[in-house]
Chains A and B, each alone.
Chain A
Amino acid sequence: MVEDFSLSLRERDVARSATGRGKARDQLVVGPALTLALRAVPLPEGEGGGALMRLSIGMGLLLLISAIALAQGVDPAMLLKPPSDTWPTYHGDYSGQRHSKLTQITPDNVSRLSQIWRWQAGAPQQIKASPILVNGVIYITTPDNLWALEARTGRERWHYVAPKNDAFHIGHRGVAVYKDTVYLTTPDAHLIALNAKDGTVKWNVEIADSNKGFWSTNAPLIVGNHVMVGVSGDFDNVPGQLKSVDADTGKTQWIFYSTPPAGMSDPPSGGATGGQMWMTGTYDPELDLVYVGTGNPTPVLNGEARPGDNPWTCSIVAIRPDTGKLVWGFQASPHDTHDWDAAEVPVLVDGNFNGVPRKMLMQASRNGYFFVLDRTTGKNLLTSPFATVNWAKEIDKDGRPIPDPNKEPKPDGVLVAPNEAGATNYRSPSFDPATGSLIVSAQDGYGIYFFKKEHGAYGWAGADYNLTGRAFLRAIDYQTGKIRWSHPLGDGAAAAGVLTTATGLTFTGDVPGNAMALRTTDGATLWHAQVGRMGNPPVTYQLDGRQFVLLGGGNSLIAFALPQ
């Protein structure tokens, strides 16, 4: 999906030597933007190539003009094929594969990776966000906080602090960038648009009412002029909502409800609320569909109060970005009573499945099952566990694991795998096209789940206790669901996401706080550095001809590269 960057990199080197190192940053970045515009027309290839070509013919000239005016303007065409010196969205691109075509760091030289710079947030809050890189500036967040850093040095350019608020400060996933605007969600579920160059506020709109129990950690997804913002909220019985606002004005365009608010006559959710879309979705420009995972229903552990499957909670939904209309839905956990959001990244892959070319969607879900869907129709192609599970009695004809009523929370407790933290969680997986593996941070874990009438039917409505777990990085063969290799990451659950590169490297972090690079074919460790606990997914990009791997350890952001 990502363009071959070798040509544009060479051309940028020419641009750099012409302008001199370290000066006129805007001239440096005009190089690849121009290259992209010129190359995009004659050379569409891979997934989305057709769409790109159609788009390119219409937009080529426009892109050229905007490239000159705005340097590395983040516009619809750029988001379809992000240049290699950017990481412009949460997943890096629309596919959610978190796979880079960069080739400077290889299995042979990765052991020489060295820290180039390290930036520490002024607060102890762990960095859980994906860094976003555009125009040589990195945007990184914790709840209420957004920093703009020089990508070459880690030097702080500006720091924005959101108005003080009393909503949950549990984590933050990162920002979205479009044109010259940075979009930040706040714990009290506002969306703030800031000037990319200085962090001044353009506008601030409320996405949902935090007094009702909503909060937000979301890194918005931008398609066209739609900024799609998700919220959280499973401590209260509130409807699941994804709101799209106009990128320029913040005006609401549409709201998609995964569970309808009172008074709406959408598909019956059986009395369930919840199903929040708190993770960033993915997008297929050819099908013009946005894919988002939805969270658990509320009340959380009390299933009696909400009979039936409770659509569209714990589901993957396909939505039309212009209208917010549901095109299809697939329920990963019908009638969930264990807090297993299906919010994990829906990864988009084009390839053969059983010898037939398919446009697929893959998700390693918090409930312990790996799903492959046909993303045109939502039809299930494969369902297979990737971690210890004991809660499903069968896989139904539609590929959905059907919960065993004996494993629903009980007054005297039931022993359930996975535990509430899940077989995986928000931490991003990565798809490696060379081996056909989805590589995911997994946990084999157990918990005990309780529900009795006194727990009521509001919010959590029950009690559960994680017992213990063991963390692994697992490579799942998407054709069969078989585990190719399983690399132990320590006791508990690892918190890092995953990044793969075209040279066969897999970057992630373990429970005791080591960042590590593994060989993608067999999971062997090739490099590690003690950085403190990684709470975010690593990213990579190439600046001035040098490939960086940027990852978070504790409350620090650390840039690694090969010595020069």
Chain B
Amino acid sequence: MKLIFIYLIIAALQQQSPASRKPPQTVTPQTYGPELIRAGEARFGAECGFCHGRDTAGGETGPDLTRSTFVAEDARGDKIIPLLRTGRIERGMPAFDLNAADLEAIVAFIHDQKTKGELVAGGRGTVDASDLDTGDAEAGKRYFNGAGTCSSCHSPTGDLAGLATRFRGLPLLQRFLSPTTTRPSPAPAKVTVTTSTGEVTAGSLASRDEFRISLRDASGATRTWLTKEVKIAIDDPVSVHFELLGKYTDSDMHNVYAYLKTLL
């Protein structure tokens, strides 16, 4: 196992690809002792490795932590430890019940890997911005204004002006394909709820399931109703992106990406 791990690091060093998007630099440089890092490697592997990869560079579903802004901004666990304790349930990350020593070791290992990641470009399992440059921006523009129907909601000089300065590389591709699962979240859907007595409340969708709907009204208050007792009208233009995923060819996807990259 150890040998394999070392081999992977060597392989990554040998096979550097041009990383046009550098990983975010750690804000507060921090170092840890080798024993703590080793302990952290074991605990991280067991608790976090399935989703984030045993080397923190991404596994099933979880992001690459060596390229995480959140990790870059953490100082000795001040952000990571509270997150581990609460989880990010809505994004599929559970809460962890670990003792202080385990938490400290995990933080040490993540930062050690992050530091190594800043030295090694194009590591295992990463996607570089240059990898995505296979599309035709002109064809993308035609699709944007034509078959893709993007221009019915978006404008390159309006809401999308400067888009490519806010998102680059894979995050830009993800933003275009599925805005709701990227950060910052797009504007929430507009909701109008009408009660049986005729009271009408409008606001932004806060949460919704089959049985309850919550919105944030103009005053900022959250109000909740049982769905079976009210009439609900939802204006959610962003949801169109889901339907569009079934229409894009891979060429369309790469061409539109190339076009969006020009919106500086």
Contacts and interface: CB of A to CB of B under 8 A. Distances in A.
Contacts of B15: 453-454
A343 B241 CA distance: 31
A412 B254 contact: yes
Given A212-B1, A339-B60, A450 B95 contact: no
B97 A235 contact: no
A236 B3 CA distance: 13
Contacts of A491: 180
Contacts of B174: 448, 465, 467
A168 B132 contact: no
Contacts of A168: 45-46, 49-50
Contacts of A187: 46
B50 A170 contact: yes
Interface in B37-80: 42-43, 45-47, 49-51, 53-54, 58-61
Interface string B155-184: 000000000000000100110011011000
A110 B248 CA distance: 44
B32 interface: no
A420 B61 contact: yes
Interface in B106-154: 122, 124-127, 131-134
B131 A452 contact: yes
Nearest to B63: A465
Contacts of A446: 177-178, 245
B178 A415 contact: no
Interface in A402-418: 406, 410-415, 417
A514 B94 contact: no
Contact of B242 (A213, A406, A452, A468): A468
A528 B228 CA distance: 13
Interface stretch (A67-75, A307-315, A455-463): A455-463
Q: Which of A124, A462, A488, A516 has the most CB of B within 10 A?
A: A124
A531 B110 CA distance: 34
**A interface: dominant SS:** loop
A456 B8 contact: yes
Contacts of A406: 250
Interface in A465-491: 465-468, 470, 488, 490-491
A511 B209 CA distance: 9
Given A168-B45, A415-B177, A490 B1 contact: no
A512 B177 contact: no
Given A412-B254, A413-B132, A417-B245, A463 B97 contact: no
Given A450-B127, A460-B59, A167 B46 contact: yes
A143 to B, nearest CB: 9
A512 B209 contact: yes
A415 B245 contact: yes
B65 to A, nearest CB: 14
B176 to A, nearest CB: 10
Interface in A359-408: 388, 390, 406
Contact of A125 (B97, B170, B173, B254): B97
A217 B252 CA distance: 41
A369 B67 CA distance: 35
A126 B93 CA distance: 11
Contacts, number: 129
B43 A467 contact: no
A165 to B, nearest CB: 7
Contact of A528 (B45, B53, B177, B210): B210
Given A124-B95, A388-B246, A454-B17, A468 B125 contact: no
Contacts of A421: 61
A514 B209 contact: yes
Contacts of A167: 45-46
A2 to B, nearest CB: 31
B196 to A, nearest CB: 20
Contacts of B241: 468
A178 B97 CA distance: 32
Contact of A166 (B46, B60, B92, B173): B46
A236 B248 CA distance: 34
Interface in A161-215: 165-170, 187, 211-213
A165 B45 CA distance: 10
A518 B11 CA distance: 53
27 contacts: A124-B96, A125-B97, A126-B94, A165-B46, A168-B49, A170-B51, A339-B60, A388-B246, A390-B246, A412-B254, A413-B131, A413-B173, A413-B250, A417-B246, A420-B60, A448-B177, A452-B17, A452-B131, A454-B124, A456-B8, A463-B125, A465-B174, A468-B241, A488-B210, A511-B209, A512-B209, A533-B89
Interface of B: 1, 4, 8, 11-12, 15, 17, 42-43, 45-47, 49-51, 53-54, 58-61, 87, 89, 92, 94-97, 122, 124-127, 131-134, 170, 173-174, 177-178, 180-181, 207, 209-211, 241-242, 245-246, 248, 250, 253-254
3 closest Cβ pairs, A-B complex = A467-B178, A512-B209, A166-B42
Interface of A: 123-126, 165-170, 187, 211-213, 235-236, 339, 388, 390, 406, 410-415, 417, 420-421, 446, 448, 450, 452-456, 458, 460, 462-463, 465-468, 470, 488, 490-492, 510-512, 514, 516, 525, 528, 533
